[in-house]
Copies of this chain bind each other. A is one copy, B any other.
Amino acid sequence: MDEVFKALADASRRSLLDRLHAENGQTLNELCDGLAMTRQAVTKHLGILEAANLVSTVKRGREKLHYLNPVPIHQIGERWIRKFERGKLAALSDLKRRLESSDE
């Protein structure tokens, strides 16, 4: 879980996920297109995404295809974000009440 959060912390990596979401199964070079960084930098990012299980790869000849794995993202939604949604209204009214009472 920690690895997933850390992987998602970087905007370049989130954008890579976006691109895979738009078109799945891209090669390294395809994913490099238009990005203002070296291929090696992208390789590292993809490595981190793969280590976090957010991306799976398949080698096809001399190419490496990258596939998005949305499961960890989904799990964060289910196991982490949902927890905070339950208490949301209560927390907000708490906060509001507290902020208002500070004017007294």
A44 contacts the other chain (CB 8 A): no
Are B9 and A98 in contact (CB-based, < 8 A)?
no
- When distances are taken between beta carbons in the complex, the residues of chain B under 8 Å from A74 are 81, 84-85, 88
> In chain B, what residue has the closest Cβ to A65?
B98
Q: A8-B5, A76-B81, A102-B58 are in contact. Are A70 and B94 (CB under 8 A)?
A: no
CB nearest neighbor in B for A4: B9
Quote the shortest CB–CB distance from A103 to chain B (angstroms): 11
Contact between A87 and B5, CB atoms less than 8 A apart: no
Q: Is A73 an interface residue (CB 8 A)?
A: yes
A-side residues, CB < 8 A to B, are 2, 5-6, 8-9, 11, 14, 17, 21, 24-25, 56, 58-60, 65, 67-71, 73-74, 76-77, 80-85, 87-88, 91-92, 94-95, 98-99, 102
**Selected A-B contacts with CB under 8 Å, 5 pairs:** A2-B11, A9-B9, A68-B95, A74-B88, A77-B85
